[in-house]
Structure 1
Amino acid sequence: MSTPTDDVADQWLRFRAARNKDLAQAHGWLTLTSLQWLLDDPAALDGVPGLWSGTDTGAVLSASTADGLVLVETGQPVTGTVTATLADEESLLWVRYGGHDGGQVVVELARRGGRYAVRTRDAASPVFLAFDGVPVFDFRPELVLDARFEAYEQPVDVPVRTANPAVDGAHRTVGELAFRLPESNKDLRLQVSAEGPQTLAMAFHDATNNQSTAAWRKVTFSAPAPGTSTVTVDFNRAVNYPSAFTPYGTCPMPVGSNIIGEPVEAGEKLPQQR
């Protein structure tokens, strides 16, 4: 007969399999090979065909048939000038080129901090080709915790740094999570954001960072049922941000106060493929 602990561990194994499958998808985060900011005037980019520019009014790409660029959405060749407009923090898989099928590299258009940039997603990236799953700590049932979520009346935007020094970020705090780690005598209160209609997320630093784990991680969990404040937080499901795998991420750092002073030896470790 299975026990509740067995069931939770089995669910974690399924979570890990889905997580690795998601990271290994074509043109996902592991395929990022460059990040280049667009200038006001049309200019060539390193290793990317065409002429590119970006201003407050939008991004502009000019190319000829010989450049081999194709719009991702429609499959139409880029011949002449095309434009795109994004809100801040939005991204668009805009054009593709290269390889035997013209789709080895996908160019992502992004807007960060009011500026346009492009990132190349190359299916021949060494990080992507070498990926064999994220290393993780062994499952620890004692780090599946009951905690208390205290919602704010209104969300609060807190300025944060990001993985890219040129990009400022903001954390929309919707409440705080109160909990205590096993065998600790310290109560913790960390800020939490929303990640979907019924999902909350907590980005955090802990004492393992930059040693056995990346510089920061996050854990997501279900929001409490209506009229209650109790949630279950499973630190075995702590995951890395994309910037742990690639230097071309612009991922937000945790709020400055979201520090767990003790080691959280659960969840994902420092990736080997960076």
Structure 2
Amino acid sequence: MSTPADAQLERWQRFRKSRNSVLASPHGWLTLTSFQWLETQPAAVELVPGLWWTDGVTASLTAGARDGLTLVETGEPVDGTISATLANEESLMWVQFGGSDGRQVVVELAMRADRYAIRTRDSSSPVFMEFDGVPTFDYDPAWVIQGRFEAYPEPVDVPIATANPLVDGVHRSVGEVVFRVPGLPHEIRLHAEEEKLGALTVTFHDETNGISTDEWRKVFIPRPRVDPSGKATVIIDFNRAINYPSAFTPFGTCPMPVKGNSIDVEVTAGEKVPEGSLA
């Protein structure tokens, strides 16, 4: 007969299967092979045909039919000059080339820190080809923790660093998730960002970082439940803590935690550092 603990484990196993499936998508994060800023004059870039540049407002590419580039959206060949305009933090899967179907490599145009860059996503990347799932700690119901959410009157933009030292970030804190961890005499308070439908995301450090886990991780928290008194309760399942893309590739611009978003114990739950990532 199935027990509540069995049901929790089964839900987590489905979550892990879905997570690994998403990571293994053909032009997902595991396929990143470069991150390159665009210059103000037309210039060749590594790993991609054509000449690329930006005037600060738009990004442009000049290529000929012989270069084999096509638009991702339509499949139309690039023969001449094309341009695109993005807002900060936006991305566009712009052109593709290579392989038997002409779609081995997708070139992502990105605006980061108000500068244009391109990232190549190559489905023959060794990281992608050798991927066999993210290692994790065993499921532990003790790391499903109840806490509370203390919302700010208004969101607060907090400057943060990112995985790329040339790209600064902003964490839009909507409040703090507050909870206790067994063995600690004090409460933990972590800044939270809002997701769709009122859910939350928390990016955090803990004492496993650099040993069994990456330098930081994040955990998704379902929408807080508010009781008649106005108290907002949250359930934080650290078994679902996951790595940012920067754990798998040096070409990410992933946000680091807000200063002080740390749990001063080992959170032995969730994803571990990917195989081969620790020196």
- Shorter-chain-normalised TM-score: which range? over 0.9
Q: CA RMSD in A?
A: 1.0
Counterpart residue type for residue 144 of structure 1: V
Alpha-carbon distance, 1:8 to partner: 1.2
Structure 2 counterpart of 1:31: 31
Segment drifting more, 191-200 vs 203-212: 191-200
The total of aligned residue pairs comes to 274
SS at match of 1:208: coil
Provide, for residues 216-254 of structure 1, a one-character-per-residue CA deviation record: whole Å limited to 9, x for no partner.
000001111345400111000000000000000000100
Provide, for residues 135-171 of structure 1, a one-character-per-residue CA deviation record: whole Å limited to 9, x for no partner.
0000110100111001111100000000000100000
Q: How does 1:66-77 map to 2 (within 5 A)?
A: 66-77=66-77
Q: How does 1:83-94 map to 2 (within 5 A)?
A: 83-94=83-94
Give yes or no for contact 1:245–1:273 (8 Å, CA) kept in 2.
no
Alpha-carbon distance, 1:273 to partner: 5.3
Using the size of structure 1 for normalisation, the TM-score is 0.98
Q: Unaligned 5+ residue runs, structure 1? A: none
Partner Cα separation in structure 1 for residue 99 and residue 167 of structure 2: 32
SS at match of 2:196: coil
Structure 2 counterpart of 1:259: 262
Give yes or no for contact 2:199–2:224 (8 Å, CA) kept in 1.
no
Structure 2 counterpart of 1:240: 243
Alpha-carbon distance, 1:46 to partner: 1.0
Partner Cα separation in structure 2 for residue 79 and residue 10 of structure 1: 52
Counterpart residue type for residue 173 of structure 1: S
Counterpart residue type for residue 272 of structure 2: K
SS at match of 2:157: strand
Partner Cα separation in structure 1 for residue 3 and residue 153 of structure 2: 39
Pair 1:273–1:107, CA change in 2 (3 A): farther
Structure 2 counterpart of 1:180: 180
Alpha-carbon distance, 1:185 to partner: 2.0
Is 1:250 aligned with 2:271? no
Alpha-carbon distance, 1:214 to partner: 0.2
Identity between Structure 1 and Structure 2 (%): 59
Is 1:115 aligned with 2:118? no
Give yes or no for contact 1:131–1:273 (8 Å, CA) kept in 2.
no
Provide, for residues 92-118 of structure 1, a one-character-per-residue CA deviation record: whole Å limited to 9, x for no partner.
100000011100000000000000000
